[in-house]
Amino acid sequence: MEQHIYHSLSEARAALDALLKDKKTLRTIAAAGQQLSDTFRRGGRVFSCGNGGSMCDAMHFAEELSGRYRLHRKGLPAAAISDPSHLSCVGNDYGYDRVFARYLEAHGREDDCLLAISTSGTSANVLAAAEHAKRHGIHVIALTGRKGSVLGDLADIELCTPAGQYADRVQELHIKVIHILIELVERELFPENY
């Protein structure tokens, strides 16, 4: 049992070490943080979406921005596309591939921003959201785990964190990137908290 625990933690550490050495991705994370800050500064909204664990990450991202991350500050207009009634309605009437794009159609505006999360970079409903966003002037930040993905190609900014064979390692890096993005926004917009 202990050898599996050691192997799992070693694999996670190796993935994080690889990300730390990837200067290009670190610069891209900084650019994404700036894009999010600029969106809020202009009075825009930030949306997030994903499936399964990535939906949980999208929800966590949005609630930390609209609620609280570290210290008290003004709530920021961020929302995860995760309302069960919306998802089931649109899934039933238009198909599950349309659930995120339809929400953006209703709520998104030019100069808003979408954080589109997909470990594979190929989730059809996340791709449809990114395509809708691009057509309507909504900035797209993609959080993926596979280089050369379709979602990455659609994005204005792609944050790709390859971390091995399985999605769980990718998701572990995704949550780290998400926390860093939130901190970058706070440092930019609420410097008094740092």
Mean local confidence (pLDDT), 140-149: 95
The answer to whether 96 and 123 have CB atoms below 8 angstroms apart is no
Q: What is the CA radius of gyration of the chain?
A: 16
Q: Look up the domain containing 179 and give its range.
A: 2-193
Q: What percent of the chain has pLDDT over 90?
A: 95
Domain count, the chain: 1
Q: CATH number, domain at 51? A: 3.40.50.10490
Q: If you average pLDDT over every residue of the chain, what do you get?
A: 96
SS3 118: strand
Annotated binding-site residue numbers: 51-53, 60, 64, 92-93, 118-120, 123, 171, 179
Question: What kind and span of H or E run contains 34?
Answer: helix 23-41
Q: How far apart are CA 84 and CA 70, in angstroms?
A: 28
Worst-scoring range by mean pLDDT, 2-6, 36-40, 132-136, 182-186?
2-6
Annotated binding-site residue numbers for Zn(2+): 60, 64, 171, 179
Annotated binding-site residue numbers for substrate: 51-53, 64, 92-93, 118-120, 123, 171
pLDDT digits (tens, 9 = 90+) for 83-130: 999 999 999 999 999 999 999 999 999 999 999 999 999 999 999 999
164 has pLDDT over 90: no
Look up residue 91 and give its two tokens: 């899934």
